[in-house]
Structure 1
Amino acid sequence: MSGGGFSRLPNGTVVVAVSLPSPLGDGSVARFLVHAANRARALTRLRNLGLRAVYLRGNAEPPTPDEITAVLHHPDGLLWRLQGAPAAELWHPFRSSSPLRNRWA
């Protein structure tokens, strides 16, 4: 079951956070952050990268201020990290070289 939410920024853009079961098969959950012009575009960015069944129903798990800061300071505006990971673990860009992406696609 996926969970997620969004935060609208003062400039009109949104940051969407979505939690999805990890494809690693170990029961972990990956948290994705996307910065886009609106919620529909953010979800389209995720779907275009291979996460086809991504939907945002409600706003149960909106991004935290730390997550918003992380995604705003990244040039791609699309990050992921395993939930429950140590706080020292950094956010990872979701690019073609990402080891997690190769398992989802």
Structure 2
Amino acid sequence: MAAGGFCKLPNGSVVVALNLPSPTAQAAAAVRVLVLAQNRARALTRLRNLGLRAVYLRGNAAPPTPDEITAVLHHPDGLVWRTAPDHTVHAVAGVPEPWRPIRSLLRRPAAQP
């Protein structure tokens, strides 16, 4: 893992942000994943339960930004992703890439006949 970090919120929960290699060939080379949980261990467990087994948080080199915290707090699942920070601006419009629910990243492609 290239970078990651966390931020403890006033209510005691944490937001964990991780840069991970994409689990699918369809997405970009790296993704930024945000998880809202009661503590860091539970945040990592949520990701491992989704199939991202080799997920670890060492240090706090890249904590979530205020915009990232807002994005994950306003998502009903508390688990979102987008391409890694160096790829978050659309080349055409210059608009930040939207945050997506984690299930769209982990969705299996349809079987080819």
Task: Answer whether TM exceeds 0.5 for this pair.
Answer: yes
Residue equivalent to 2:92: none
1:27 Cα deviation after fit: 6.5
Q: Is the 8 A contact 2:28 2:83 kept in 1?
A: no
Which ranges in structure 2 are unaligned for 5 or more consecutive residues?
90-94, 109-113
Query: Which residue identity lines up with residue 90 of structure 1 in the other structure?
Result: P
Letter of the structure 2 residue corresponding to residue 12 of structure 1? G
**1:14 paired residue number:** 14
Change (3 A) 1:11 1:26: closer
Cα distance in structure 2, aligned partners of 1:27 and 1:81 = 9
Deviations 1:62-84 (A, max 9, x none): 00000000000011000000021
Q: Tell me the number of residue pairs that the alignment of Structure 1 and Structure 2 aligns.
A: 100
- The amino acid that maps onto 1:48 is N
Return the offset for 1:3. Answer: 1.5
Distance 1:70 1:38, change over 3 A: same
Q: CA deviation at 1:24?
A: 2.5
C-alpha separation between the residues in 2 aligned to 1:8 and 1:2? 21
Residue 40 (str. 1) matches residue 41 (str. 2): yes
Unaligned runs of 5+ in 1: none
Aligned partners of 1:38 and 1:47: how far apart in 2? 15
Q: What is the aligned partner in structure 2 of residue 79 from structure 1?
A: 80
Amino acid at match of 2:37: A
**TM-score normalised to structure 1 length:** 0.87
Instruction: Give the secondary structure class of the aligned counterpart of 2:55.
Output: coil
Q: Which residue number corresponds to residue 101 of structure 1?
A: 106
CA RMSD of aligned residues (A): 1.7
* Higher Cα Rg, which structure: 2
Structure-2-length-normalised TM-score: 0.81
Quick one: which of 74, 79, 91 aligns to 2:99? 91
